[in-house]
Chains A and B, each alone.
Chain A
Amino acid sequence: MGRRRRRGGGARVGALPEAIAALSQTLPAGPSPEIFRRAKFDRPEAAPALWQLLFRVLSPPAAAGTRASPALGAQVRLVKSALCSQGYPRRVLARLPEDGSQGSRELLLALAWLLARGPLLEHLLAQTRVWLGDEIPLWQYEALASPGPPAPCQEADGPVDIRHLQWLMGTLRFRWRDLITSQQELCALLGKIHSYTRGCHSDRGLGHLSVAETELLRDPEGGRQLLQRLESENTRLEAALQWRRRELVFWQWMDTVLGSCPLQTSPATFLPRDPASGPGELELVARELRGLHGELQGAVEPRRAAWEAKAGGWGPEWSAAQRATQEAVGRDLAALQRAWEQGGAPAQPHRPCRLVKRDARAVEGPGLRAAELTGALRIRESRLETALGQLQTRCRQELARLAGAEPGLIWILPPGR
């Protein structure tokens, strides 16, 4: 009802620039509203700012923050591959030049698509949140399973020497051990700070200071910087609230942007997260998906047949064996996940927690106990080790079978692990 009224009556003058300004303030490295306006008309000068914005939005937080940002060409490539891996439907974007000079309207559409799909702004705000406590990240199973943007794949020229692979594995192992040692050092030092500052915190429930709070006391300049960061975070949060109030105007405007695009073979429509949108649009999207699926099938089948013909002699037993392996792996994973869930783990919170050192006698109070968490993690660890042991046994049996099959062959195992 409200929507129809607004469509007919015309938006309040200035509502759109305000909405865009709010959006831009909420986003990290948000460009000015003028850039958005120019992007609607596909002006080339708006393109670089939008490429950089998308790069900031799509790259993992550590990469965006600490190191100097890469050259525009590298940013363009990463944005393209990240959008592709998330399933962005418009093919025009993938064909844009890598110098970042064109395509501002396409980029605007891509941004709107990302906003429409999921809680993008909340996600971005959570990434840059200012924490005063010592944070303990709680690894969720789903978080591990969702991959980031894929690294650019390098084709190996010629056969790869296995010794090189072993070298790389060894490097990884050393880095892993270095990481564990650093983690242990971090824990030891955290423990020291927590014990030394016992009784200093004004909040009796917490009892001791965190690292950030200790730094605040030691270094007033750092305190000023922390205050500035909190203030800027506040500004962003207020802008986010403004955006929520005004975003409908933005979506209406985006429809006009989409309308001003040249026609494509498979136009995608944008679905704002407004649940009031009727079933008609859903039906449209569903039909498009089915059509796309059919197209893909048609493209894949001849390619697969050609590859199989080239690989020679593999034929149906190979694909049957492949399918059987995939199903077996799927079953194993599902069994593992069920076992984890049955492990009686305490309900995992959805946000990181503040680490607090408590007296052993203090049992009451909110929050998770470290002992429970470590217990649950140990159960998972033992399940994974069992699974690993079973896989290793299977491997050994297979090797033994192969060794037995060729009596003239001598197998020499590598030294140690």
Chain B
Amino acid sequence: MSVVTVQLGQCGNQIGFEVFDALYTDSHCPQGLCSKRENEAYQASCKERFFSEEENGVPIARAILVDMEPKVTSQTLSKAAQSGRWKYGQHSCFCQKQGSGNNWAYGYSVHGPRHEESIMNLIQKEVEKCDSLSGFFIIMSMAGGTGSGLGAFVTQNLQDQYSNSLKMNHIIWPYRTGEVIVQNYNSILTLSHLYRSSDALLVHENDALHKICAKLMNIKQISFSDINQVLAHQLGSVFQPTYSVEGSCHYRRNPLGDLMENLVPHPEFKMLGIRNIPQMSENSLAYSTFTWAGLLKYLRQMLISNSKMEEGIDWHVQPPLSRLPTLGKASLNRELQFNTSIANLVILRGKDVHSADLGGFKDPALYTSWLKPINAFNVWKTQRAFRKYEKSAALVSNSQFLLKPLDTIVGKAWNMFASKAYIHQYTKFGLEEEDFLDSFTLLEQVVASYCNL
């Protein structure tokens, strides 16, 4: 089943390019560590999901590009076309010459309705190319104006028009010390609207990615391109094909659907985060060997201590005794800074994948009291290695990892709102104070739900 990607705004388009590039590079990687037949099945599966039939041999990404400024989209289109390996569709781009001024209300109430028909037509054309549509993957940032406001509008439209298709929004969480003054307003408005119309919110934090680049990739001058490549690597290791049934050679047909069914069936808990291991760059791989036991041990501790990096993990954080009653457990966990999970999905790729022992993730102490590990924990595997990593593991989890950042953003936004700072920028485009209050209510509720795990 195919996934249609919608790349929104500057951020969305730059990331989207890196994602497709990573997917393509991996699927055509010569060292698959598996048989030729299996490699071909892997490639075919990846192609069905993300690329469509080629004219003259070049696969076309199943994506549409939307931005209110022409610069980034034209750069993206030409970068893809120049590589000669894959490209975007000729008519898959929609851009204007206006910009959104980092104003959520402008993106949502002005750009949205004005360009609704053109954008939805583009999406429709892309959907018609699919034999079967698994769902939409919408890449956007939360802090700007186009990605956030227009993104919320488009997602709502997708909800109305394609109510049976799945929607996953990939959101970039801005730097804590970001440059946009009103980024907190934009963030809370985006999150609250998406919570109502999207099925899953996959969040990447700029701060975390930045740290990975700095500490582990040894990059001196970190550019957005580096950050996006780390991000694309993580997404690729989640969305590339995996076996559908233990030991079989058939690849999973509906990764988006299976992922959502495993992680976000509850309407109040939709926030997902990714961690992966190993995080070093491909160039350093030649001098390292890994065992599954070691990788999984680190990954588990990264989950528990809410660390995004495999370095500097706090090993003192341990799961508490499970005998405590639920209420006592929650407050104790908060004291211990223990990251309680609702559900986890571990994806293993590479050599001897069947010998990996995942007992550590099946410990009930990791999970909230109302979901047993048998429901809360799932594994996907494939013997085919991801890029040049002989063994690699990714973890997609629905946990408390975003609780603090979310609480911080809501707090800051509330303080600004209480003094009515910059509100007129929003109200002059049709937004009302009621909308802000609704957003605050919804997000406070989300915070409370995650807090009471």
Contacts and interface: CB of A to CB of B under 8 A. Distances in A.
A177 B196 contact: no
A169 B445 contact: no
B165 interface: yes
Contact of A171 (B131, B192, B265, B446): B265
B265 A415 contact: no
Contacts of A181: 1, 132-134, 164-165, 254, 257
Contacts of A220: none
Nearest to A169: B265
A178 to B, nearest CB: 5
Interface string B115-137: 00000000000000001111000
Interface in B413-453: 441-442, 445-446
A175 B132 CA distance: 16
A185 interface: yes
A199 B234 CA distance: 50
A166 interface: yes
A236 B254 CA distance: 40
Interface string B374-418: 010000000000000000000000000000000000000000000
A170 B132 contact: no
A188 B132 CA distance: 8
Contacts of A180: 164
A167 B369 CA distance: 13
Contacts of A164: 370-371
A259 interface: no
Interface string B72-90: 0000000000000000000
Nearest to B370: A161
Interface string A182-198: 10110011000000000
B158 interface: no
Interface size bucket, A side?
Answer: 20 to 34
Interface string B335-374: 0000000000000000000000000000000000111000
Contacts, number: 73
A414 interface: yes
Contacts of B138: none
A189 B265 contact: no
A188 B268 CA distance: 35
B370 A415 contact: no
B60 to A, nearest CB: 20
Contacts of A175: 261
B166 interface: yes
A173 B265 contact: yes
Contact of B442 (A168, A184, A415): A415
Nearest to A174: B261
Contacts of B178: none
A13 B257 CA distance: 63
A173 B267 CA distance: 11
A415 B133 CA distance: 26
Nearest to A164: B370
A189 B131 CA distance: 8
Contact of A167 (B133, B195, B371, B445): B371
B264 interface: yes
A1 interface: no
A131 B120 CA distance: 42
Given A181-B132, A188-B131, A163 B266 contact: yes
Nearest to A178: B257
A163 B267 CA distance: 10
Nearest to B452: A163
A417 interface: yes
Nearest to B446: A415
A365 interface: no
A137 interface: no
Contacts of B371: 163-164, 167
Contacts of B134: 181
Interface in A374-417: 412, 414-417
Contact of B257 (A177, A184, A189): A177
Given A174-B260, A181-B165, A415-B195, 5 more contacts: A161-B370, A164-B371, A177-B164, A181-B132, A181-B134
26 contacts: A166-B266, A166-B267, A166-B268, A168-B265, A169-B265, A170-B264, A170-B266, A171-B261, A174-B166, A177-B164, A177-B165, A177-B257, A180-B164, A181-B1, A181-B132, A181-B133, A181-B134, A184-B132, A185-B1, A412-B441, A414-B268, A415-B192, A415-B195, A415-B196, A416-B196, A416-B267
Interface of A: 161, 163-164, 166-171, 173-175, 177-178, 180-182, 184-185, 188-189, 412, 414-417
The 6 closest A-B pairs by CB, nearest first: A170-B265, A185-B132, A161-B370, A416-B196, A174-B261, A171-B265
